[in-house]
Amino acid sequence: MNNHVRELRGDQGWSQADLAERLDVSRQTVNAIETGKYDPSLPLAFKIAALFGRPIESIFDPGA
């Protein structure tokens, strides 16, 4: 699954550690999501979407 987490995080000027802290996950989890090695759980995907104020489908692309 492709996603725009890295770009959205960069737009905020946050490091992976900053985002991880806001999401209550490890920095390694953020890295794995950004590189496409890990698809977040549905609750985590909703948390990411809420944090960035965007719909889930604008952040995650399941078709790719």
Percentage of the chain lying above the pLDDT 70 cut: 98
CATH number of 2-53, picked from 1.10.260.40, 3.40.50.620, 3.30.60.50, 3.40.50.2300: 1.10.260.40
**Inter-residue contact 46 to 60 (CB < 8 Å):** no
pLDDT for res 46: 98
Query: Which residue from 28, 27, 37, 51 is spatially nearest to 3, judged by alpha carbons?
Result: 37
pLDDT digits (tens, 9 = 90+) for 23-37: 999 999 999 999 999
Whether pTM > 0.85 for this model: the answer is yes
Q: In the prediction, which pLDDT does 64 show?
A: 54
CA 52, CA 56: separation in Å to the nearest integer? 10
Choose among 8, 20, 14, 18: nearest CA to 54: 8
> pLDDT at position 41, please?
97
Residues of the chain with pLDDT under 50: none
Q: 32 and 38 in contact (C-beta within 8 Å)?
A: yes
Question: Cα separation of 59 and 5, whole Å?
Answer: 7
